[in-house]
Chain A
Amino acid sequence: MPITVRIPTPLQKMTNGKAEVECSAGNVRELVDVLEKEFPGMRERLSEGGKIRRFINIYVNDEDIRFMSKEDTALKDGDSISIVPAIAGGGYNRRVRR
């Protein structure tokens, strides 16, 4: 059974509209490489300087990789991966602008 990767809406343009793709990889870093091979440009969308980008959260079977081994988090067949953009923003730092 391969690894299932849930692709977020903003990246589905790169997967021909597919919300889920299947692949094989030994850890998260390899997963990024495998996705890049299949969907060129994916590496840059997901990572920067070999690290998963800030404001992008990756879950392996519901666990945030930041609380596991980050990019080195091991993957095995049957795992379910989710790539989720953080919901974040800001205000006006007490200065009112329009």
Chain B
Amino acid sequence: MLIINEDDLQTIFANCSREYPNEACGILAGSPGVVEQVYAMTNARPGLASYEMDPEEQFRVMKAIRRSGLGIVGIYHSHPSGPAYPSGIDVERAYWPGTLFPNFPDAAYMIVSLAHPSNPAARTFAISDGQISEVELIVRQA
């Protein structure tokens, strides 16, 4: 289960729409299962079908999250034309290269589909043990 405020979800959708037709990406910081802060990140390898966070920015943000006493509870990115479901590359990159050790075991992967650009759809998944399982996304109204 991942709980997110409606305005934080709208922040994510706005980021994804702004980057369209490229993929947008970001980090969700919070306490276990609850998003408290959204960090929109720079996609260092923008393209229609990939993202990679700018490494220095990622490092800086991870440090800031640690220092604020929060953890990485989610990682989001958009699929500009595909479904809100992890692609093969998403699954591969969720693990340490050459292993099935999840890189961020406490993070859920949120994917925002812009297949209908005016109506973004978000779904959230756990990627671990070689499996993809949906995590319930609960949107809290302000």
A84 pairs with B58, CB closer than 8 A: yes
- Given A9-B105, A94-B49, is A88 in contact with B87 using a C-beta cutoff of 8 Å? no
B59 pairs with A59, CB closer than 8 A: yes
Enumerate B27-68 residues with CB–CB distance to A below 8 Å. Answer: 27, 41, 45, 48-53, 55-56, 58-59, 62
B89 pairs with A90, CB closer than 8 A: yes
Residue positions of B touching A, CB distance < 8 A = 23, 25, 27, 41, 45, 48-53, 55-56, 58-59, 62, 75, 77-83, 85-90, 93-99, 101-105, 109, 115
Q: Other than the known A88-B50, A92-B82, what 6 A-B pairs have Cβ atoms closer than 8 Å?
A: A84-B58, A85-B103, A87-B75, A88-B45, A88-B89, A91-B78
Instruction: With a 10 A CB-CB cut-off, give which of A8, A44, A87 has the most chain B CB atoms.
Output: A87
Kindly provide the distance from the CB of B35 to the nearest chain A CB, expressed in whole angstroms: 16
B90 pairs with A89, CB closer than 8 A: yes
- Given A10-B101, A93-B48, is A86 in contact with B53 using a C-beta cutoff of 8 Å? yes
B62 touches which of A45, A55, A84, A88 (Cβ 8 Å): A84
Kindly provide the distance from the CB of A91 to the nearest chain B CB, expressed in whole angstroms: 4
- Given A9-B105, A10-B105, is A87 in contact with B97 using a C-beta cutoff of 8 Å? no
A11 pairs with B49, CB closer than 8 A: no
Roughly how many angstroms separate A2 CA and B62 CA in the complex, as a whole number?
24
- Name which residue of chain A comes closest to B52, CB basis: A88
Kindly provide the distance from the CB of B36 to the nearest chain A CB, expressed in whole angstroms: 19
B87 pairs with A91, CB closer than 8 A: yes
A91 pairs with B103, CB closer than 8 A: no
